[in-house]
Structure 1
Amino acid sequence: MYEQKQSIASLVADRLGVAADDVWMAIEYPPDPRLGDLALPCFRFAKTLRKAPPAIAADAAEVLRQSGLFARVDVAGGYVNVTLRRGPVAAGVIDQAQRDVAALFSRRRHTGRRAAVDYSSPNIAKPFGVGHLRSTMIGQSICRLLAADGFEVVGINHLGDWGTQFGKNIVAYLKWGDEETVRRDPVKELFRLYVRFHEEAKDKPELEDEARAWFKRLEDGDEEATRLWKWFIAESLKAFEQTYRRLGVRFDHYLGESFYNDKMDAVVDELRQRGLLTESEGAEVVDLSAWNMPPCIIRKSDGATIYATRDLAAALYRHDVLGATDLIYVVGAEQKLHFAQVFKVLELMGRDWAAHCHHIAFGMMKYNGERLSTRRGKVVYLEEVLERAVQEARAIIEEKNPGLPDKDRVAETVGIGAVVFNDLKNNRLHDVDFRWEDVLNFDGETGPYVQYTHARACSVLRRAEAEGVPVTSPPVLADEALADSEWQLVHQLAQSNESLERAVDGFDPSVMARHVLDVCHAFNRFYHDAPILGAEDDLRAFRLALTDATRRVLAHGLYLLGLEAPEAM
Structure 2
Amino acid sequence: MTTIATLLASTISSVWPDAEGLPVADEIRGLLAVPPDPAMGDYAFPCFRLAKPLRSAPPKIAEALCAAWKNEDTASVQPVNGYMNFFLNRANFAAGIMAELQEKKDRFGSGEEGKGKTVCLDYSSINIAKRFHIGHLSSTMLGHSLKRIFDFLGYETVGINHLGDWGTQFGKMVCAYKKWGKKEDVEERGIDAMTELYVRFHKEAETNPALEDEGRAWFKKIEDNDPEAMEIFRWFKEVTLKDAARVYDKLGVSFDSYAGESFYIDKTEPVIQALRDKNLLTESQGAQVVDLSEDNMPPCLIIKSDGTTIYATRDLAAALYRQNTYHFDKCLYVVAYQQDLHFRQIFRVLEKMDYPWAKGCVHVSFGMISFEGEALSTRKGNVVLLEDLLDQAVSKAREIIEEKSPNLENKDEVARQVGIGAVVYTDLSNNRIKDIDFRWDRALNFDGESGPYVQYTHARCCSVLRKAPDFSGVTPDWSALTDDEAQALLRLISRFPDVIREAAAKYEPSMITRAVTDIAQAYNKYYYEHRILDGEPAQAAARVALTDAAKTVIKTGLYLIGIEAPERM
Q: Cα distance, 1:100 vs. partner?
A: 1.3
Question: Match for residue 97 of structure 1?
Answer: 101
Question: Match for residue 497 of structure 2?
Answer: 497
1:387 to 382, 387, 391: 391
CA distance in 2, matches of 1:182, 1:439: 35
Q: What letter matches 1:31 in structure 2?
A: P
Aligned-residue Cα RMSD (Å) equals 1.7
TM-score relative to the length of structure 1: 0.95
1:195 aligns with 2:202: no
What CA deviation, in whole Å up to 9, does each residue of 1:160-188 have, x standing for no partner?
A: 11111101212232333322222122122
Q: Cα distance, 1:97 vs. partner?
A: 1.9
Q: What letter matches 2:504 in structure 1?
A: V
Q: Secondary structure at the match of 2:154?
A: coil
1:552 aligns with 2:552: yes
Q: Cα distance, 1:83 vs. partner?
A: 1.0
1:33 aligns with 2:38: yes
Q: What letter matches 2:397 in structure 1?
A: A
Question: Match for residue 325 of structure 2?
Answer: 321
- The 5 Å alignment of 1:354-373 reads 354-373=358-377
- The 5 Å alignment of 1:68-87 reads 68-87=72-91
CA distance in 1, matches of 2:131, 2:502: 34
Question: Match for residue 42 of structure 1?
Answer: 47
Q: What letter matches 1:36 in structure 2?
A: G
CA distance in 2, matches of 1:103, 1:258: 40
Q: Cα distance, 1:76 vs. partner?
A: 1.3
Structure 1 spans left out of the alignment, 5+ residues: none
Identical-residue share of aligned pairs (%) = 49
Question: Match for residue 155 of structure 1?
Answer: 159
CA distance in 1, matches of 2:152, 2:41: 31
Question: Match for residue 60 of structure 2?
Answer: 55
Question: Match for residue 541 of structure 1?
Answer: 541
Question: Match for residue 282 of structure 1?
Answer: 286
Q: Cα distance, 1:10 vs. partner?
A: 2.5
What CA deviation, in whole Å up to 9, does each residue of 1:432-481 have, x standing for no partner?
A: 122333333343001011110000000001111xxx43357863534x86
Paired residues in the alignment total: 564
Question: Match for residue 411 of structure 2?
Answer: 407
Q: Secondary structure at the match of 2:326?
A: coil
CA contact (8 A) 2:367 2:433 kept: yes
CA distance in 2, matches of 1:481, 1:231: 62
Consecutive aligned runs of 4 or more in structure 1 exceeding 4 Å deviation: 471-474
Question: Match for residue 212 of structure 1?
Answer: 216
CA contact (8 A) 1:284 1:301 kept: yes
Q: Go from structure 1 to structure 2 and tell me whether the alpha carbon gap of 1:9 and 1:198 turns closer, same or farther (over 3 Å shift).
A: farther
CA distance in 1, matches of 2:172, 2:491: 58
Q: What letter matches 1:482 in structure 2?
A: T
Q: What letter matches 2:501 in structure 1?
A: E
Q: Secondary structure at the match of 1:321?
A: helix
Q: Secondary structure at the match of 2:363?
A: strand
Question: Match for residue 123 of structure 1?
Answer: 127
What CA deviation, in whole Å up to 9, does each residue of 1:128-160 have, x standing for no partner?
A: 001111000010000001111121101111111
What CA deviation, in whole Å up to 9, does each residue of 1:86-132 have, x standing for no partner?
A: 11221221232233145531333222100111100100100100111
Question: Match for residue 565 of structure 1?
Answer: 565
Q: Cα distance, 1:206 vs. partner?
A: 2.9
Higher RCO (CA 8 Å, separation ≥ 6 residues): 1
What CA deviation, in whole Å up to 9, does each residue of 1:48-100 have, x standing for no partner?
A: 32222111111122222x33344321111111110111112212212322331
CA distance in 2, matches of 1:345, 1:80: 48
CA distance in 2, matches of 1:189, 1:535: 66
Question: Match for residue 453 of structure 1?
Answer: 457
CA contact (8 A) 1:195 1:376 kept: no
Q: Secondary structure at the match of 1:172?
A: helix
2:357 to 332, 350, 353: 353
CA distance in 2, matches of 1:546, 1:312: 51
Structure 2 spans left out of the alignment, 5+ residues: none
TM-score relative to the length of structure 2: 0.95
1:430 to 431, 434, 450: 434
What CA deviation, in whole Å up to 9, does each residue of 1:387-410 have, x standing for no partner?
A: 011011111111121221111111
Q: Secondary structure at the match of 1:83?
A: strand
Q: What letter matches 2:14 in structure 1?
A: D
